[in-house]
Amino acid sequence: MAAAPRDAPKPPTKKPYRGRRGGDAMGVAWSSRAAAKRDVRVAVIGDHGTGKSSLVATIATGRFPDQDDGVARVLPPARLPVDYFPARVPVTIVDTSSSPEHRAKLIAECQAADAVVLTYACDRPATLERLSTFWLPELRRLQLKAPVIVVGCKLDLRDEQQVSLEQVMAPIMQTFREIETCIECSALRQIQVPEVFYYAQKAVLHPTAPLFDQEAQSLKPRCVRALKRIFILCDHDRDGALSDVELNDFQVKCFNAPLQPTEIAGVKRVVQEKMPEGVNDNGLTLTGFLFLHALFIEKGRLETTWTVLRKFGYDNEIKLRDDLIPTIKRAPDQTLELTGQAIDFLRGIFNMFDTDNDDALLPAELDDLFSTAPENPWSNNPYVDCAERNVLGGLSLEGFLSKWALMTLLDPANSFANLIYVGYSGDFGSAFTTMRKRRVDRKKQQTQRNVFQCYVFGPRGAGKTALLQSFLGRQPSDALPMNGERFAANTVELSGSRKTLVFREIPEDDVRPLLADRESLAPCDVAVFIYDSCDEFSWQRTRDLLVEVATHGENTGYEVPCLIVAAKDDLDQSPLALQESTRVSQDMGIEMPIPISVRLRDLNNIFCRIVHAAQQPHLSIPETEAGKTRRQYRQLLNRSLMVVSVGAAVAVVGIAAYRVYAARKNTSS
């Protein structure tokens, strides 16, 4: 069903009740622009007889369907043309049936919809009650995330002595926050029919929920963070306020139209009247900037704030759009590292936010640094406890850079996004470099990497966590409880250069699931196998893990250098464990077990030795018995092929010599 174009809907003759979702537009100079969405799909649902099909038919044809028209019980989808509403985004409207036999179809349409129009009949109070007792709970049960527009149809039949729409809907909207707008209409009298779908489209293009907390009547934290970043980017002279020139530049950038001096004065006057600290001698402050956007939203001008956010690259979740983060193409054994340019930028950011000049970022300073990002990316695992801190919980510059190195190693796209959030203006290529494949490093017997990842294997109680804690200058008891893998990142000085070493502790129960992935060892530069040197069983389990990992590397081509660490060297040693671990290391062609004592802080230079092994990726690679057999078979095969090749060459030479001899003999005769 196709609808005829029409003018944009005029202001409704009877205002929709939008609760605290907005109202009339504020008369300020900033204009708006719709989001670049290609289509909005709206599902119309509700009880039988509430006027769904008549509503769809009226918006599609511009007239109320006569009984002679033979309107179907469920109409085919209607598509409003691109120029039907000012946003110039087409709307597809889908009619539905509430009968039980069509339930599956109804659910599918709701889940496919960008917005849902939920109808009740103004002349049938029972259908209004069904909103709270059935329809809205059902939409929640389906975990529907689309905004809901509640529409009272058949306004022409409404008893004027009934309580107002606002009185009826206020408690419902308090309970069901997914309701974006409530409006009454009459398809028969052509009252506010276009407005129903205008508000549905607007709820999709300019949603309230990501921006505004209805309960607290304030901007949501993520919206505040995004607007703060935008404010800082527009505050070119860094004086903490937007001057008249900066305000005009902002207006032109976002809305392609300049502000007149009188308009700038009007904007600042509105802010100053409501919030004096929003304006100072230099211009509009951040407080005023945030207040202005809160005012727009309260007045129903969500499109203004959304236009600003989208101009600066934000999506509907108020995160950078996916297209701003390039697709990262790399082999499984390739990783990305920060460039010198990015590291210099991070050093500058660190110094800027180290307000007390103690060479460390306290938690509050770190939160301030990330206050222009959607959230602090290091507030959750694996980053929360992965770097060295001082006694006050402050993060040193080395710890700060180590966390960035870890984030780049694990999630370069997220690392780049957060660089942008904290003010980095360069492109992806200027921030990261893709390192050479590890298997190429092994062939060339050298590496150019500055960040090495070390997997730590071992049975329970062997000392894996203690090793990681000692790397961060902590006691084992300081480790936070953690389910699954634990990371530790720090710098290691070796031969006059500083390298970043990242430990990844692999719980014993996670080894088999890890090795089920063919490429699981690809990001690993070196593997450490740690056992309790007092416990023979601990060694036996570590030996088994070593064989499993070495076998996996041989089978997949992702072999890694391996080191054996004998922990708890300060306690009574197990002679058998020591003897067996020495024998196994010799048989597999790797370095002898390295004894350490975390309790006595006698670490035997373990961290430098790990980095050294990573820098020589062709050495310390263990060889299993099966691997030796395959190697010997290949050597034998190569020798055989060489013998055959030499024999064939001799035969060819002999034949050639005979032909020369025969030719000469024939000539002489």
Each residue's pLDDT tens digit, 433-492: 999 999 999 999 999 999 999 999 999 999 999 999 999 999 888 877 777 789 999 999
Q: Are residues 134 and 236 in the same domain?
A: no
Q: Are residues 132 and 59 in the same domain?
A: yes
* Residue 460 domain flag: yes
Residue 103: C-alpha distances to residues 139, 240, 379, 429, 529 (Å): 13, 56, 43, 51, 57
Please report the pLDDT score of residue 314 as a whole number. 96
Please report the pLDDT score of residue 24 as a whole number. 32
pLDDT (average), residues 4-26: 40
* Residue 573 domain flag: yes
* Residue 324 domain flag: no
pLDDT band (50, 70, 90) for residue 565 = very high
Q: Are residues 467 and 614 in the same domain?
A: yes
Please report the pLDDT score of residue 388 as a whole number. 94
pLDDT of residue 530 exceeding 70: yes
Q: Are residues 184 and 272 in the same domain?
A: no
Per-residue pLDDT tens digits for 306-344: 999 999 999 989 999 999 999 999 999 999 999 999 999
pLDDT of residue 126 exceeding 60: yes
- Bridge partners, 2 (sequence order): 79
Please report the pLDDT score of residue 2 as a whole number. 38
Q: Are residues 607 and 637 in the same domain?
A: no
Q: Are residues 257 and 350 in the same domain?
A: no
Q: Are residues 454 and 592 in the same domain?
A: yes
Taking the C-alpha atoms of residue 193 and residue 209, their distance in angstroms, rounded to an integer, is 24
Per-residue pLDDT tens digits for 244-270: 999 999 999 999 999 999 999 999 999
Task: Tell which of 284, 319, 354 closes a domain.
Answer: 319
> Going by DSSP bridges, is the β-strand pair 594-595/279-280 parallel, antiparallel, or unpaired?
unpaired
Please report the pLDDT score of residue 33 as a whole number. 38
* Residue 15 domain flag: no
Tokens 């119309």, residue?
44
pLDDT (average), residues 116-125: 95
Q: Are residues 95 and 240 in the same domain?
A: no
Give the residue among 410, 411, 545, 386 at the shortest CA–CA distance from 469.
386
Residue 519: C-alpha distances to residues 314, 515, 522, 524, 527 (Å): 34, 8, 5, 10, 15
Per-residue pLDDT tens digits for 37-66: 678 999 999 999 999 999 999 999 989 987
Tokens 């193409």, residue?
329
pLDDT band (50, 70, 90) for residue 87 = confident
Please report the pLDDT score of residue 484 as a whole number. 72
Q: Are residues 199 and 73 in the same domain?
A: yes
CATH number for the domain spanning 408: value is 1.10.238.10
Lowest mean pLDDT among 30-34, 228-232, 609-613: 30-34
Q: In terms of C-beta distances under 8 Å and separation of at least 24 residues, what long-range contacts does 625-628 make, across chains too?
A: 626/551, 626/554, 627/550, 627/551, 627/554
What is the count of structural domains for the chain?
A: 5
Q: Are residues 286 and 428 in the same domain?
A: no
Lowest mean pLDDT among 162-166, 536-540, 563-567: 162-166
Task: Tell which of 205, 239, 261 closes a domain.
Answer: 205
pLDDT of residue 612 exceeding 90: yes
pLDDT of residue 158 exceeding 90: no
pLDDT (average), residues 572-593: 94
Task: Tell which of 381, 415, 435 closes a domain.
Answer: 435
* Residue 33 domain flag: no
Please report the pLDDT score of residue 495 as a whole number. 83
Taking the C-alpha atoms of residue 435 and residue 454, their distance in angstroms, rounded to an integer, is 17
pLDDT of residue 15 exceeding 60: no
Taking the C-alpha atoms of residue 612 and residue 607, their distance in angstroms, rounded to an integer, is 9
Q: Residue 397 sits in which domain range?
A: 333-435
Please report the pLDDT score of residue 632 as a whole number. 61
Per-residue pLDDT tens digits for 218-238: 999 999 999 999 999 999 999
Q: Are residues 294 and 343 in the same domain?
A: no
* Residue 17 domain flag: no
pLDDT of residue 637 exceeding 50: yes
CATH number for the domain spanning 566: value is 3.40.50.300
Q: Are residues 474 and 568 in the same domain?
A: yes
* Residue 3 domain flag: no
pLDDT (average), residues 547-565: 96
* Residue 10 domain flag: no
Task: Quote the DSSP letter at residue 393.
Answer: S
